[in-house]
Every structure is written in C-alpha cells, then in structure tokens.
Amino acid sequence: MVIIMKLRSLIGDRAFYRRLFAVMTPVLIQNVITNFVSLLDNIMVGQIGTEPMSGVAIANQLVFVFNLCIFGGTAGAGIFTAQFYGKGDMKGVRDTFRMKLIIAVITVLAALGIFITMGEQLISLFLHEGEDGLDLAATLQYGKDYMEIILWQMLPFALLQVYAITLRETGETMLPMKAGVIAVLVNLVFNYILIFGKFGAPAMGVVGAAIATLIARVVEMLIVIIWTHCHRDTHSFIVGAYRSMRVPAPLVKQILIMGAPLLINELLWSSGMTTLNQCYSMRGLEVVSAVNISTTVSNLFFCAFFAMGSTISIIVGQLLGAGELERAVDEDRKLIAFSVSLCVVVGMVMAVLAPFVPRIYNTTENAKSIAASLLIVSACIMPVNAFAHGCYFTLRSGGKTIITLIFDSAFVWVIAVPVAIILSRFTDMPILPMYIAVQALELIKAGVGFYMVKNRMWVKNLVSE
C-alpha cells in the first residue's frame, strides 16, 4: 500500500500533463530537429573524411564552451524573468531582458578575444597519434579553417538566445521552435550546396559547413527578433526595452549575485566536459572521431531530458513566483519522475540503434566500432542523467545557484576530471572501460541531487517583495 501511494505521488492528473506537454513539446521538437540536422551536418562533413570531421568536431567542442557561457550568463536573469512573469510584473521582465543583453554582449567579446588569440593552441590539445595513422597536421588546418568562419555566428547566436529564452520564460514556446525549424532547414540546404559544391557552387568542404551554419543562425535570429517586435501587444516586455539599458541597481545586484555562479558553473562544466574529451583523445585521433559520432548521435536522444530541464525551470519557476510553494514541490516531483521514465524508453531505443548508426559515417572501422560501444554506454546511463538534470534545474528554479555550482561543476572538476586524467595519462586502459568508469560517476551526482531536492532548500519565492 505504501509503495502504491508513493507511485501515485509521482503521477499527475490530465491537467498536469496537458501543461507539461504544452511547455515541453515545442522545446523538444526544436531540440530534436536542431540535433537531427546537426547529425546530418556531421554525416555530411564525415563524408569528406576522418580528418575533416575530427577538425570540425574539435572546433565545435571549443565553441560549445561559449554557447553554454551564454546560457549560464543569462540564466541568472532568467530565474527572475520566470518569477516576475508568474507575478505579472512586466517591468521586471523588461529589466531582466536588458540585463541579459548586456551580459550576452560582454560574453561574446570575451570569447572572441580568447578564440582569436589562442584558437590554434586549443585545437592542438586534442591531436594525438592513434592506431589508424591519421594526419594530425591536416586535422589542425581543418579545425582552424572552420573556426575562422564560425566565430562570426557568435553575436547572432547570443542575441537569438536572449530573445528566445525570454519568450519561453514568458510562455511563448512556439515561435522559437518555428524559427529553429526554419533555421535547421536552411542549414541543411546550404550544407548540401556548399560542402559538396552543388548547383554551380564551389565545393568548400568544412568552410562550406561553417558558412551554412552562419547563414542559418542569422536567419533564425532575424525571425525571432522581428516577430517579437511585431507582437508588442502580447509581449509588452519589449515595449521601450531599448529606450535605455538602465536596470535598477538592486535588481542588478541580485542578478549578479545569483547569476555569477550560473555563469561560472556553465564555464566550468563545459570546459570540464571539453577536458574529459581531451582526455579521451589521448587514445588517438580515431577516438576523437568516435567520441564526435557518439556525442552527436547521443544529443539527439538526450533532447528528451534537455527539454524536460527547460520545462522544470519554467513550470516550477512560475509556481514559485506565484507563491504556490507546495504545488511547486508536488509538480517538481512528478516532472522529474516523468523525465526519468521517458529516458528509460528513449535509452532502450538508442541502445538498439547504437550498432547501426556509426555505419553511416565515412571513417575507419575502428572509429565506428568505438562509437557504437560509447553509444550503448550513454544509453544505459541516460535515466541517471535525466534524474541529475532534473535536480539541477529544480535547484536553479529556486535561486540556489551556489548550490548548483557545487552540484554541477565541482562534481566534474573534483571527481570526473581527475579520474579521467589519471586513467588517460597514468594507465594503458582502453577507451571503452575508461569511458564507462567516468560515466558511472554520474550515479554519485544523482544521489547528491536527490538529497538536495528532497530537503526543499530550493523552495523559495524570489520576487515576493
């Protein structure tokens, strides 16, 4: 009887699931389409050869750090956006929008400075001889060529995220999804034309892939920005948003205090994940190719819990801002339970497909075999990832940003990275058992997350005053 009661507490009513799917579905569809086209993009570049694919993968791994810094830098303001919106305070939403713009521009300038001056050195960290005798110098050049173009999409990406994230936090999830769908289709078409030289265009290889990404990003940004300004009546936060960049000093202080840990967290976490991939690369360039394939394919399936993370932050954040604290606790528990259940099913599908997907790529047989094994490991650990991810967004929705910094980044740098460094540099352990050992550490993180969420430290209304 007790078990049945506990199970019932994890299941919502029809109204709960209607609201869940209303928020999650557009985000999920956009993420799935984006990652599916990224997979096709990856396959197209992979048709040129292992070295071009590896060079692009390394450059994208570095740009990934910038992308997450944008998410982290704007997330502190985003916590207040969701709660101001739940309270019905449009001036507060407008102020947080301005703060996101300021943070995004500063982040872009800092990232450009780093990549322009240190890009070649950073790419070189991933280049190591392996069993297949691949050309490291060619891989370095491909990575440099790709990065020189892809840096131009940083500002459009940052502005896009400021608008799209604010729209989602204020209940508009459909428009960012539609813009994302159009952008990925544009990206796919120009990839085909520019990578392979179709319809009279020159075959530009990795440079063509970078140009296609830049074009798609600008198109997506313009759609979201123009739409928002054309719907000022329903999204009044944009009215007067550019009359000044002034944000009330007390709110700036609150956002910086709460947002700094989130920015630091995303920087440390993304650089930590990049460091883990660098550790894996010590086993050879074919492992870089395999990890790239595994990561690109996995991200398509990981959309399930990525979308649920956004859903948790929006629904729980709005409930906390509206002062419905007990309801927030109840619905958060059900949201996390749904996320884990969903990922059990998705993980099973991923495990079944894992041996077949790498066969699509034009790379070495060794790289394909490693990629298939890594995908199976990722599929098995996915429900644990989903639970930890849900805990992270729960803590963040209540403003516990210092705690999320410890929970997320401290785990990576204190536990995962040292284990990976020791195994990669001081042992001869092959890539598969090394990868399993590092991924299994996620169980520790999930256990800590369970404790933090259960003791309700995150149940707080931040905008009651």
Annotate 301-354 with DSSP letters as a single string: HHHHHHHHHHHHHHHHHHHHHTT-HHHHHHHHHHHHHHHHHHHHHHHHHHHHHT
User: Mean pLDDT over residues 240-263, rounded?
Assistant: 84
Q: Which of 29-33, 41-45, 147-151 has the highest mean pLDDT?
A: 147-151
- Reported as a single tens digit per residue, the pLDDT across 278-337 is 999 888 888 888 998 898 888 888 888 888 988 898 888 888 888 888 888 889 999 999
- Residue 385 near residue 342, CB atoms below 8 Å: no
The residue that leads in pLDDT, 42 or 314, is 314
Residue reference for tokens 């394919």: 297
pLDDT category at 186 given cuts 50, 70, 90 is very high
Q: Which of 6-20, 60-74, 256-270, 438-452 has the highest mean pLDDT?
A: 438-452
Name the percent of the chain lying above pLDDT 90: 36
Looking at residue 130, its pLDDT comes to: 61
Token digits of residue 79: 């916590």
What DSSP character marks residue 427?
-
Burial 104-125 (b: 16+ CB within 10 A, else e): beebbeebeeebeeebeebbee
Cα(261)–Cα(448) distance, integer angstroms: 18
Give the up-direction half-sphere exposure of residue 207: CA atoms within 13 A in the CB hemisphere: 9
Token digits of residue 14: 């029809």
Looking at residue 189, its pLDDT comes to: 92
Closest CA to 293 of 381, 359, 358, 369: 358
The least confident of 11-25, 99-113, 183-197 is 11-25
Looking at residue 465, its pLDDT comes to: 47
Burial 146-170 (b: 16+ CB within 10 A, else e): bbebbbebbbbbbbbbbbbbbbbbb
pLDDT at residue 221 greater than cutoff 90:
yes
User: Mean pLDDT over residues 100-107, rounded?
Assistant: 92
Looking at residue 148, its pLDDT comes to: 93
Looking at residue 40, its pLDDT comes to: 74
Looking at residue 254, its pLDDT comes to: 85
Token digits of residue 67: 């992308």
pLDDT at residue 342 greater than cutoff 70:
yes
* pTM value surpassing 0.85: no
pLDDT at residue 132 greater than cutoff 60:
no
- Residue 143 near residue 59, CB atoms below 8 Å: yes
pLDDT category at 4 given cuts 50, 70, 90 is low
Amino acid symbol at 44: M
Computed on alpha carbons and rounded to an integer, the radius of gyration of the chain in Å comes to 22
Closest CA to 284 of 54, 125, 422, 127: 127
Looking at residue 346, its pLDDT comes to: 93
Looking at residue 422, its pLDDT comes to: 96
Where along the chain do its domains lie?
A: 2-454
Q: Indicate the angle between helix axes 50-87 and 285-321, nearest 10 degrees.
A: 10
Looking at residue 464, its pLDDT comes to: 62
Cα(404)–Cα(96) distance, integer angstroms: 21
- Reported as a single tens digit per residue, the pLDDT across 351-388 is 999 999 898 888 888 889 999 999 999 999 999 999 99
pLDDT at residue 54 greater than cutoff 90:
no
